[in-house]
Amino acid sequence: MKVLILILLVLSNNILENDISKINKLTKNAEKAFKEKNYKVAINDYNTLIDSFNISNEKIHLNLAHSYLLSNDTLKAIENYNMASITNNNKIQSIAYQQLGNINESKNKLKNAAEFYKKSILSNNSNLDSKYNYELVTKKLKEQEKKKEENKNQQNKEKNNKEKNNKEQENKEQENKEKNNKEKNNKEKNNKEKNNKEQENKKKNNKEKNNKEQENKEQENKKKNNKEQEKSIEEKLKEVNMSKKKAEMILNALNNIEFQYIQQLKRKATKKIDKNKPDW
């Protein structure tokens, strides 16, 4: 039994020594590959240490993250920087946060970048790169906020101008509508007045025409009657064997007698009446 235990201890010791040898060799090879920028080999060796030998520490995760980042595998890099930040080694933790800040800044995620730079500074106040980056990102954020505010003001201004222009356009359209309606109403009114005037003129002309026709007709009738009367007188004069000239002389004489009689009546009317004498 003791011999068996001894054999097992010797075998375990040999295995452990072999594992340590392999671990040391992989670690040296990974570091060498990383320095020589052979990131594919470095990634493979570091993953072998983690997966096969369960060797996982902040330094391995940091170098693995660097290798992934430089191989353009950002997601794997972020994963390993987060693993590297879980440590009591302030310098490695500060570098891990700094790198996470760089990645976020490259993606224009400035707020996240500022937070990681701040964590990096808190982990190691001597990290000048993180301090510089933090100030730069903070400045960018302020400029971004300022630009955002300016854009907002510009948008509000454009909105107000648009509303103003729309209002002016509406007012103008309303004015044009009212103007057109007014012109239409005036036109209709003028047309109506014109039609009424034309109608009145037409009635007036018709009336004048009718009156004229009536006058002409009456004149014709009068002439006709006079002609007939003259004819009748001539016929009567013929019956009494009297010429027209002689009849006119008799008529003139009668008119003179009538005129003289009227004159005598007027003279009698102008004499003063004696009140003492009777009327008869």
The C-alpha atoms of residue 104 and residue 107 are separated, in whole angstroms, by 5
Mean pLDDT over residues 254-269, rounded? 80
Looking at residue 119, its pLDDT comes to 98
* Residue that the structure tokens 């009456």 belong to: 218
Looking at residue 233, its pLDDT comes to 64
Residue 6 has pLDDT above 50, yes or no: no
Who has greater pLDDT, 278 or 208? 208
From the options 1.50.10.20, 1.10.10.10, 1.25.40.10, 2.30.42.10, give the CATH code of 13-150. Answer: 1.25.40.10
Residue 106 has pLDDT above 70, yes or no: yes
Tell me the pLDDT tens digit for each residue of 175-203: 989 998 898 988 888 788 887 788 887 88
Q: Which tokens is 1 given?
A: 């039994």
**Percent of the chain scored above 70 by pLDDT?**
86
Mean pLDDT over residues 139-153, rounded? 94
Mean pLDDT over residues 140-161, rounded? 93
List the one residue out of 62, 102, 104, 98 whose CA is nearest residue 79.
62
Q: How far is CA 214 from the centre of its chain?
A: 73
The C-alpha atoms of residue 143 and residue 136 are separated, in whole angstroms, by 11
Q: Which tokens is 209 given?
A: 């025409």
- Cα dihedral: 8, 14, 18, 21 (round 10): 130
The C-alpha atoms of residue 210 and residue 202 are separated, in whole angstroms, by 12
Rounded to the nearest 5°, which phi and psi values hold at 109?
A: -90, 75
CB 64 within 8 A of CB 78: no
Instruction: Say if pTM beats, i.e. exceeds, 0.85.
Output: no
Residue 3 has pLDDT above 50, yes or no: no
Tell me the pLDDT tens digit for each residue of 162-175: 999 999 999 899 99
Q: Which tokens is 71 given?
A: 């191989």
Q: List the domain boundaries for the chain.
A: 13-150, 200-261
**Percent of the chain scored above 90 by pLDDT?**
55
Looking at residue 101, its pLDDT comes to 98
Mean pLDDT over residues 130-146, rounded? 97
Looking at residue 10, its pLDDT comes to 36
Tell me the pLDDT tens digit for each residue of 109-133: 999 999 999 999 999 999 999 999 9
Mean pLDDT over residues 54-74, rounded? 96
Q: Name the least confident of 1-15, 20-34, 118-132, 204-218.
A: 1-15
Residue 5 has pLDDT above 70, yes or no: no
The C-alpha atoms of residue 163 and residue 168 are separated, in whole angstroms, by 8
The C-alpha atoms of residue 249 and residue 125 are separated, in whole angstroms, by 159
Who has greater pLDDT, 40 or 218? 40
Q: Residue 273: which pLDDT band, with cuts at 50, 70 and 90? A: low
Tell me the pLDDT tens digit for each residue of 200-216: 878 887 788 877 888 87
Looking at residue 7, its pLDDT comes to 42
What does each C-alpha distance from 157 to 144, 149, 163, 164, 169 come to in angstroms?
A: 19, 12, 10, 10, 18
